[in-house]
Amino acid sequence: MARIRFESVGKEYPNGFVALENLSLEIADKEFVVLLGPSGCGKSTTLNLIAGLEDVTAGSLYFDSTLMNVVPAHRRDVAMVFQSYALYPHKSVYENIAFGLRMRGHPKDEIEKRVREAARALDIVPLLERRPHQLSGGQRQRVALGRALVRQPAAFLMDEPLSNLDAALRIAMRAEIKKLHQTMRTTFVYVTHDQAEALTLADRIVVMREGVIQQIGTPEEIYDRPRNTFVASFLGNPPINYLDGTLAGDSGGLRFERGALSLALPPALAQRLAGQGDGPSGRQVRLGLRAEDVDARGAPREGETLRGRISSVLPVGSDQYLGVEVEGATLFFRVGRELRVHEGENVALSVNMNRAQLFDSSSGASLLWQ
Amino acid sequence: MRHVGRRIFLFAASAVLLVYVLAPVAWLVSSSFQGEAEITSRPPHWIPRQPTLENFEAIFQARDKKVTYETRRAGDPATGGYIPSTARNLIPSMWNSLLVALAVVALNLLVAVPAAYAMAKIRFIGRSTSIYFMLTTRVIPDIALVVPFFLFIRTFGLLDHLGSLVITYLAITVPFSIFILVSYFESLPDELDKAARVDGCSRLQTMMRVYVPLALPALVAVVLFTFLSSWNEFLLALMFTQTPKSQTMPIVVASFASDFTISFAFINAAGVLAVVPPVLMAVIFERYIVSGLTAGAVKG
């Protein structure tokens, strides 16, 4: 149906603002790709370029092998769901859903059939005669989805479709969108700044920052092997912890050191680092530890233990977050709630160094990828 | 107690305002049904004691009469003997006024709606400059434009032609119509524009099928504003029209007061006819001036 390919695409606005720089990306047919990043990172612009709502100012955009740069929005076979729903306020729910089909000249009975089908799938049949202002936020969201899926488009674009919903509804709709993707078997491009949405929905995640792609990968890749500190920080809750320090030792036994703290790097990583530059020893690095990659129960072992003073205990129902002061830095870890600890106590946590991230101190680039 | 005092004050103030606004209209209507003798009686009769339709009859029959200074003194019993020498021009001039006003309304919509949509929803270089530039044309008083307009109209051979009025009224009303519509279109969410285009609308279809229906209150405002502006316009019509062929209603009504003897009853009857079209317009369009149409378009 639709493979979407960006070749060195750039987008510069008339006022000189560069929203996208040299973006190359290939989205496979039937793939669910999530564009993830903070606001202003260019993810919505990317989506608008696919929809044809904004013009590409450099490079080429292809659907399959057709160059789309100058094809106007209404000639592209894509459907879009907006954060604000963007339902037509003067039309009934039925008319809202039917509008796209009408504009494309489908026969009346087919429109009727498809609108009813979509309404049934989304459980909004009783709402068909209502106007948008008579609906709740969740219902409007369903109508917006219905308006997109009734078209059976080649690509389905979603611009933060769930961010106006409350938390419980958001999780339910997330599941529904995932199901929709499985039943429709269409390319989905989904924009969000919510890492949880990205991790749940995506086949692949594209992390963006200031108009530049930081990393493209499956959710596991992005989470486990971030290419730089930006990607690492953007995913994970609570966010990844950083400790600046130096490497010491040689390929036989490389250690991360900061003050009295000394952590042994796994041999595989040590070997890889040994081949880089003038040798790893003495190199300034930033160690990244995910909140869940510690264990408070195991017996402390040399080279795998963090010792520090507990500065805060934050229970969050199933787990608790511990703020631990280690060598002048405060790190946050997630531990089971059965651990009975109090503020001001000392604690020893064993670290899963196989999952530790290591970044270059100055550039922030991951040393695991080099 | 303060509450009651406040209400009484508000009520009294509203009553005063109402009388101030409505009394002239009431007198206009009342006196148009009075004869020349009754209209000058003291104290004035707010409700005619001998109501008569003869002023109106005189207006509609004036066409078939040749009224000159010599003949009109012999005159018409209904109007107390004096109908203006230009009376026969009244009905044709109202027709002229109507034609001009309708043309101005139609062309205004034709030009202002796409212009306003483009300015509100399409980002192009010089967008805000063009809006401000257009608005500055509104601060120039009409009188300053009369001479350039006149030269322009004469060069194009449009003097004493309804076209001269249509062109000049458009020049005056279009910027303001665009201004009204731009602010209204801007208040409608941009996402509707995007949604419509993704749904398969061209720019023109987006405008016609999404923005125009939603902008109905603003469109009604534009229709009323442009209709009334050209219906009432006096200065330019006085400059560019010279014969009954192209004279509009305000010019002819004004000429009624330029004879040696003036029939106020007749003038007031003409005045009543002059307010009928605007009042009709207001009554017809009033029900379209509805707000809250956009509720529910976006989150909320």
pLDDT of B42: 82
Amino acid (1-letter code) at residue B219: L
A282 in a structural domain: yes
> Quick one: B257 and B125 in the same domain?
yes
* Structural domains counted in chain A: 2
Q: Tell me the pTM.
A: 0.79
Helix axes B264-286, B249-256, angle to 10 degrees: 150
My answer on whether A28 and A171 are in the same domain is yes
Can you list the residues of chain A whose pLDDT is less than 70? 1, 250-252, 277-279, 299, 370
How far lies B81's CA from each of B67, B243, B261, B263, in Å? 12, 26, 10, 8
Closest chain B CA to residue A50: B198
B56: which residues sit within 8 A by CB, 6+ positions away?
B32, B269, B273
Q: What is the pLDDT of residue B118?
A: 92
Q: Which domain holds residue B19?
A: 2-72
What are the residue ranges in chain B where pLDDT is below 70? 1, 62-83, 260-261, 288-300
Residue A329 lies in a domain: yes
Tens-place pLDDT, residues A239-275: 999 999 998 886 568 888 888 888 888 888 888 777 7
Q: How much is the ipTM here?
A: 0.83
Residue B67 lies in a domain: yes
Look up residue A305 and give its two tokens.
């233990």
Q: Is residue B270 part of a domain?
A: no
β-pair partners for A9: A23
Count Cβ atoms below 10 Å from residue B39 Cβ, excluding itself. Answer: 22
Contacts of A86 in chain B (CB under 8 A): 189, 191-192, 194-195, 297-298
Residue ending a domain, among A177, A211, A233, is A233
A366 domain-assigned: no
pLDDT at B218: 87
Residue ending a domain, among A205, A233, A261, is A233
Say if residue A130 is in the same domain as residue A279.
Answer: no
The helix/strand/coil state of A186 is coil
Which of B72, B104, B125 corresponds to the end of one domain? B72
CATH number of the domain bearing residue A334: 2.40.50.140
Please answer yes or no on whether A88 and B210 come within 8 Å at the CB atom.
yes
Residue A338 has what pLDDT? 83
Find tokens 């212009």 and name the residue: B115
Residues A280 and A134 in one domain: no
Same domain for B251 and B135: yes
- Calpha distance B91→A175 (Å, rounded): 72
Chain B residues with CB within 8 Å of chain A CB: 123-125, 189, 191-192, 194-202, 205, 210, 213-214, 292-299
Report the pLDDT value the prediction gives residue A278, as an integer from 0 to 100: 65
Same domain, yes or no: A324 and A300: yes
Query: Are B51 and B100 found together in one domain?
Result: no
Tell me whether residue B184 is in a domain.
Answer: yes
**Residues A356, A212 within the same domain:** no
pLDDT given at position B299: 38
First to last CA, chain B: 40
Q: Based on the domain organization, do A246 and A225 belong to the same domain? A: no
Q: Can you give the pLDDT at residue A251?
A: 56
- How far does the CA of residue A166 sit from the closest CA of chain B (Å)? 12
Asked if residue B96 and residue B62 are part of one domain, the reply reads no
Residues B193 and B219 in one domain: yes
Q: What's the alpha-carbon Rg for chain A, to the nearest Å? A: 25
Q: Would you call A29 exposed, middle or buried from its count of C-beta atoms within 10 A (0-12, 13-18, 19+)?
A: middle
- Please tell me whether residues A153 and A301 are part of one structural domain: no
Q: Identity (one letter) of the amino acid at A253?
A: G
CB contact under 8 A, A82 and B213: no
Do B24 and B146 sit in the same domain of this protein? Answer: no
The residue range of the domain holding A199 is: 4-233
Is A370 inside a domain boundary? Answer: no
Which CATH number fits the domain that encloses residue A179? 3.40.50.300
Q: Which helix (H) or strand (E) holds A334?
A: strand A329-336
Q: Is B153 in the same domain as B197?
A: yes
Provide the domain count of chain B. Answer: 2
Chain B residue with minimum CA distance to A106: B200
Give the residue from B103, B92, B178, B191 showing the smallest Cα distance to B134: B178
Can you give the pLDDT at residue A252? Answer: 66
Do the Cβ atoms of A20 and A46 come closer than 8 Å? Answer: yes
Q: What is the DSSP letter of B125?
A: T
pLDDT for B297:
43
**What φ, ψ does residue B47 adopt, rounded to 5°?**
-110, 120
Are B100 and B166 a contacting pair, CB within 8 Å?
yes
